[in-house]
Amino acid sequence: ETGVTQSPTHLIKTRGQQVTLRCSSQSGHNTVSWYQQALGQGPQFIFQYYREEENGRGNFPPRFSGLQFPNYSSELNVNALELDDSALYLCASSLWQGRVSGTQYFGPGTRLLVL
């Protein structure tokens, strides 16, 4: 158990809808990263949040957005859902100290199915 929790565990949406996924960081961590894992592939980096601001982004369109709250929890929002957005969404928390970013610990993920 890493102490990173995600909700919901599973979700079904239809094309064009919007979805919000949630993540609670491990105690003491201040950075949250989000990853998308399509079936049969490795996780792909979406973006990272530190001090409530986006701090790095992968190759994902603007309809993927996020928030980080003062308690370091985070949300991933996806607008205008497409069928290809069906995937396991993973959040990972870590501690950023000065110039060193620590080990990322993952939550169990949210499985999203877009019909």
Residues that bind other proteins (CB under 8 A): 2, 4, 33, 35, 41-45, 48, 50, 55-56, 58, 88, 90, 92, 96, 99-109, 111
Q: How many residues can be counted in the chain? A: 115
Can you list the positions of beta strands (E) in 1-115?
Answer: 5-7, 10-13, 19-24, 31-37, 44-50, 53-57, 64-68, 74-78, 87-94, 96-97, 100-101, 105-106, 110-114
Q: How far apart are CA 90 and CA 111, in angstroms?
A: 9
Q: Which CB atom, from 81 or from 104, has the smaller least distance to other proteins?
A: 104
Residue carrying the six token digits 């199915």: 113
Q: Cβ 109 to other proteins, closest distance in Å?
A: 5
Q: Cβ 16 to other proteins, closest distance in Å?
A: 27
Q: Cβ 102 to other proteins, closest distance in Å?
A: 8
Q: Which CB atom, from 15 or from 53, has the smaller least distance to other proteins?
A: 53
Q: Which CB atom, from 21 or from 92, has the smaller least distance to other proteins?
A: 92
Q: Cβ 84 to other proteins, closest distance in Å?
A: 18
Q: Which CB atom, from 45 or from 69, has the smaller least distance to other proteins?
A: 45
Whether the Cβ atoms of residue 16 and residue 80 lie closer than 8 Å to each other = yes
